Each structure stands twice: as structure tokens, then as C-alpha cells.
Amino acid sequence: MQKFINFIKKNFFLIALALYSLGFLAVNVKMNLFSYHNFDFGKFDLGNMTQMVWNTMHGRFLYLTDYFGTNMPRWGMSHVDPILVLFVPVFFFFQSPLTLVFSQLILVTATSFLIYKLAELKLKSSLTAFLLALSYLLYPAVGFLTARTGFHGVTSAIFFFTATFYVFELMYEKNNFSTKWLSLFWVLAAITMSGKEQIPLYTFFFGLFIWLYRGKKKLGLTLSGVSFAWFVAAFFIIIPAFADYRIEGYRDFATNLGLSGDSLTDVTSSNYFLSRYEEFGETYTEVMWGMVTHPGQVARVFFGGEKMKNFKETLLPVGYIPFVYPATFIMALPDFLINYLTTAGGIGTAEIYNHRVSMIVPVVFISVIFSIQFLAGVVSKWQPKLKYNYVLISLAGLILGLNIYTSFKFNNPVYLWIEQAVRKRVIHFVHAKTLDDEVDLNDLEIGDVERFSHLENKDRECASNIVQMIRQKEQDVEERFSISGPDYLGAHLSMRETYAIFPALYNEADYVIVDVFSKKIMRILDADVNLVRDVVEDIIRNPDYKLAAGCGNLFVFEKVGAHEKDSKLPLQERYAFEEKLDLEIFKTLTVVDYSLPTELTRGENSNLEIAYVKRGDDALDGYFLFLTFVNEETEEMYQVANLPSFSLYELPDWTEDRYYIENLELALPEFLDAGDYKVFVGMSNIIRTRSLYLGDVVVK
């Protein structure tokens, strides 16, 4: 018993850190599970990372599908981060995107122990080391990295860079540069450099530190030389050499959609991201020369816009102390320049919630340790009455206090979640939407207008069910389908050779999943978002594709081969029509006729035809049409967008006093419960919603 007590006393702060880290880890696991099930992680970037690891495991080394539907090595997208190979063995046993998320979470959390050991080694104070390790876990940027960014190789490199630095300092302090320790040092350094293409510049500066400040010239120059060689190879050889994959893929994509194939210099350049520095030039040489010869412009860009706010959020939590010891703080220079010198509008790379700040974090805390050591020495010499240890603890306490303060000031998501969880019960998973309380199903008459919930613009329950539907079909046929779909499904459906962001591969993929609200790739390309309407029209007409399911904002088209299909578009405009009804939905949009089947079978396609007229000149900008099926027994709601009026001829384009006949192909998914349903057609602009009762249907 006494031995146990002695062990606790001797390792009290380390044990306290372990307990705190476990709590930090548990909260982050819960938050990441929620984000994953809530479809907050998409193809970019968790889906891409998972796809690369999965493809590597199946013999395609770090392959993924890019924006334009091309399967290519990672470097074709202008990133070099082979660190992902490190996760293949773990992924082999636990094949899920969450394996990568939790692996990164463990590594970033474990870095707190490296901070502790480094601080203890340099400052000779366990309490100071504990306070600084806690400060790291409270650091706002760390909270965003662990709770909001999913997985990135550069974030995982935080652990390996800190470990490399600690191993060197341990060798230096003990004057033990044995083969065993040097081998460990080089393994950790190599893994660090593999984290992303610019990280070798960190180890380049680290090599200079080893030479100039630790007197190990050979080791330092070797590390700097290897780092610089790998940086040059990554940026100037590997990335340009594989750019043709991206360029040709984009040109095929552009041709398919009728875009100008050479209209986007960033897509067709040797490095996809060079356009972010367009004010300095268009090529590597021009950009670097422009920065060297225009220092005033560099200063203007670096300190302009939101950059100083980002700078404050990065360094205020540590009281700007890293500037006291520039010998280590200069290691973060690469990402400060890369993140703060972007000139393209609308692109943020320097925010603390962005994974691009990852490698700045360990440099900040390494510099804090050395800065505190330096300041404590100066203060103790200046005021001998102030004991060295007291100064250390005071400075570390100040850093901890600043991190507590800024965690709430800068909305650190981990600690905001804890605060909210303490104040109220946090809902973690999305449940089926149910009917609003004020709607009485037993007192409805045909034509009644209700104001219950609008169609979700990202229906999580529908998305989850569609993911499960595709996975089940893959299990039945024992193969992985190629898919073109929205970004936010890309993490859940990432373990396959091909997952393209719609509309890429819209006429080639085995499954095309259309999100009527999602137009991400068109905005990325600065192209006309109405092109999506043309693409959806092509899918509706394409005799090789059949509507397999419609749910919420999602429509799933399956490539079944040539089959009989109505060539007439499912939305027709007429000047004259024989009106049989006069049921206004809202803003003079009126249903004048419809045919509702009395019975629908899940998994089989049926049709519902509705005829509308727009009586007045009310603007319908932002409005869309959708159907709602309400289960009479459970009052659960199943909603689905009206695809024709979403994609072919939108409500804002409808003309006064003309008739519009919408033929809705219903493909009720098999995951929908059988039963008796009330059917409504609704219109909404999200802010205001009206739904018109059409009648009842039996779902089998």
C-alpha cells in the first residue's frame, strides 16, 4: 500500500494529466460521433482521407476521386501526405472513417504528455509542466482540431513533430546520441515530414536550430539537407508531374458539362493552390519572386482583412510569449506565410478552426516552454528574491489562465459543449421528424392548408437511410458501386474506388445521388449553378438510369441499362387546361387537378400528377415544392422534394395564368414503414411553409 501511495505522490501531476486527458478524449469522442452521424464530415476531407487509406489497402496507393470524378494519386490534387500509410494497419482491422478520426484524436491528445515531458525536462518543474500540458488541451485551436476537422495528415503530424523535438532534447540533455536514440529520432522526423508537402520546411528550420543552438552541426545540417531535398521533390517534382491527372480530368468533366475546359487557371496549373497567391504571380517562380521584390505588398496582405484577428486568436492564448524565443518560433514561419499571404477573395486559411494551423500549434508550445525558461532566468537574475520556480509556475499559470479565458472568448467547441452539457441535456442524434402537435389528422378535409415543417435542406435521417440502402445492396452483390453524390455523403460512402461529387460522373456512375439543394462544385468552379438543372434533366431522360429512391432532398438514380422510359419531360407548361379544382396552396399558387394513387408499394415506382396555375403576380423567389407523407399511426413524416419543379422549371420562373402539369415519379424507399398515410403537397422558402392536403394512400 505504501508503495502505491509513494507512486501516486511521485507521479501526481502525470496521473492528473492522464485523468484530464481521458475526460478530454471522452468528450471529443462523443462530439465526433455526433458530427459523423449528423453528416458534418463530408468527402472533403474525411471522405478523401478514408478513400486513400481504403484504396491503399486494396492495391491503389493513396488513390482518391478528385472534384471532377478522376481517380488519381493524392499528389495529383497538389498535396503530398504519405503519412496516411501509417494508418493502413489499424484501418485493416477497423474499417470505418471514424478509425481515422479517433486515431488522430488519440495522437493530438497524447501530444499533451509530450508537452509535459519536454517542459519537465527543460524547466525541472512537474507543476509547471502540468500547467502547460493543460494549457495545450485548453488551447482553442486544439479544440477545433479535435472536435471539428475530422482527420488530416498534417494534424496527425503534430504528435510526431513534438516527439521528434522531445527525443532530440532528451539526447542533448543526457549527451546520449546513441544509434538507438538517433534511429528513433530519424524515424519520427521522417514520419513528420510525410505529414504534408510544406512540413519539411519545419524540420529544415529545426535542423538549423540543432546546428546553431545545440552545436550539433553534422546532425543539424543533415536534417536540414534531407528536409530541403524532400520539400523540393514534393513541390517542384512530384506535384507538377502528376498535375496532368487533374488537368485531363477537369477537361473531360468540362466537356461533359459544356464548360470551357481552359477557363480556370487554378485547375489547369501545375499546382491547384497557386491561384491563392495570384497577386504575386501565376507560377512558383513568379510567386516567390513577387514576394521577395514587393515587401510592402507582402506586409499589406499579411496584415490585411481578417488576418490580424486570426493572428490574435492564435497567439493571445499564450500571451504572445513565443516571440521571446524566435530560435524555435521561426519553425512555424512556413505556415504563417502560406496561410497569411493568400490573396484570393473568399478563401480563409489562417483561422484557428482550420486544419491548416495544425503544425503551428506544437511550435507555439515548444516556444512557450523555451520562452518561459528564458524569462524565468532573466527575472531571477534581475530580482534574486523571486525564486526561479515561482516565476516558472507564475508564467505557466498565466498561460493556463489565458487559455481558459480564450477558450470561451474564441468559442473553443470542446469547452462550449461541456458548458452546454452542464446547463442542459444535449441532443446527440437525429430522430425521425414527427407531425407538429397542432395538426389534427382526424379533422382534415381535402384542400385544407397546414403550416407544419418544411423540407429539410439536409435531411439527416433520409441521408442515413440511403447510405444503409446502398451498403445493403453492395452486400447482396458483393461489390462496391461507383457513386456520384453530394459532398456530405462522401465520408459515409468513402470506402470504394470511386466517389465523385455530383455532377461529376453523372452519366457514368453506378449510382447518382442528386441533392436538389447542393450545388457545391458549381460554386467552386464559379460556374452557372443552373447547369445542375440541365444535368438533372439529362438523368431524368437518360434511358440507362432509373429512379431507385426519393427521400427528403435526395434522389437516387440507379444505372440499370436501357429500359422503357417516358420521353416526355415530367413538367409541362400549357396555356389552357380544364380546371377541376380550385385549391390554393399559398401566394396564389393553386392546384387545379391531381391524380393520387390509392396504394403505393415500397421499392416500386408510381406516379402522382398535379396541375397548378399561378393566379397572380406574386413573386415566388426562393420557393420550392415538396410532398409530405404522414403516417397516421406514428405521425412520423416522410418528405421528398418535387424533382421536376426543382430541376427543370423552378417556381420563380413560372408565369402568371399559365398551367404547369408536374408528373412526380414516386419511388418510396423500402426503409419507409408500411401503413396508412396522409399526403400533402407543400411550398416553402424555408422561412414560410404551407402544405395542402390531397388525400390518403396505403403504403405496402
Q: Same domain, yes or no, for 491 and 613?
A: no
- In this prediction, residue 662 carries a pLDDT of 93
Domain span at 380 = 2-40+78-241+303-419
Q: Looking at the domain assignment, is residue 263 inside a domain?
A: no
Q: For residue 689, give the C-alpha cell.
A: 411553409
Smallest Cα–Cα separation from 654: which of 624, 689, 614?
614
250-266 burial, b at 16+ Cβ within 10 Å, e below that, comes to bbbbbebbebeeeebeb
Which of residues 531, 559, 587 is at a domain's end?
A: 559
Do the domain assignments include residue 184?
yes
List CB contacts of 335: < 8 A, sequence separation 6 or more. 198, 356, 357, 359, 360
Give a yes or no: residue 476 inside a domain. yes
Supply the pLDDT for residue 426. 43
For residues 548 and 584, membership in a common domain is answered with: no
Q: Is 502 helix (H, G, I), strand (E, B) or coil?
A: coil
DSSP 3-state assignment of 94? coil
Q: Does residue 289 lie in a domain region?
A: no
Cβ pair 535, 557 in contact under 8 A: no
Taking a C-beta distance cutoff of 8 angstroms, is the pair 617, 448 a contact? no
Give the pLDDT confidence score for residue 264 in this predicted structure.
Answer: 55
pLDDT at position 427 is 40
483 and 375 in one domain? no
Total domains in the fold of the chain: 3
Do residues 474 and 410 share a domain? no
> Do both 209 and 320 map to the same domain?
yes
User: Is 681 found in the same domain as 606?
Assistant: yes
Q: Is residue 188 part of a domain?
A: yes
- Run of H or E including 682: strand 675-684
Do 542 and 574 share a domain, yes or no? no
Task: Provide the residue type at 178 as one letter.
Answer: S
Same domain for 600 and 653?
yes
Here the cell at position 490 is 462522401
Would 179 be classed as within a structural domain?
A: yes
Q: What is the pLDDT of residue 422?
A: 67
User: How many residues belong to the chain?
Assistant: 700
Residue 134 one-letter amino acid: L
* CATH code assigned at 621: 2.60.40.10
Q: Are residues 611 and 545 in the same domain?
A: no
Asked if the structure places residue 66 within a domain, the reply is no
Burial group, residue 376, by CB count within 10 angstroms (0-12, 13-18, 19+): buried
Q: What is the pTM of this model?
A: 0.88
Beta carbons of 542 and 631 less than 8 angstroms apart: no
Whether residues 550 and 695 share a domain: the answer is: no
Residue finishing a domain among 559, 582, 612:
559
Which amino acid is it at 467?
V
Residues 503 and 452 in one domain: no
Domain final position from 516, 536, 559: 559
- pLDDT confidence of residue 524: 59
Mean pLDDT by 10 residues, the chain (700 residues): 80 94 96 93 94 96 93 92 96 96 97 98 96 97 95 97 98 96 98 96 98 96 97 93 88 80 61 79 82 86 87 96 97 93 75 94 98 91 78 94 95 86 51 69 90 78 91 93 95 96 92 81 59 82 90 90 80 92 93 94 90 90 91 89 85 92 89 92 90 94
- With respect to residue 296, please indicate whether it lies within any of the assigned structural domains: no
SS (H, E, C) 244-261: HHHHHHHHHHHHHHCCCC
Cβ atoms of 136 and 153 closer than 8 Å:
no
Cell of 427: 441532443
Report which of 554, 557, 558, 560 is spatially closest to residue 465, judged by C-alpha positions. Answer: 554
Residues 399 and 489 in one domain: no
Retrieve residue 252's grid coordinates. Answer: 473531360
Dist. CA 461–CA 165, nearest whole Å? 46
Per the structure block, which three cell numbers stand in for 443?
379533422
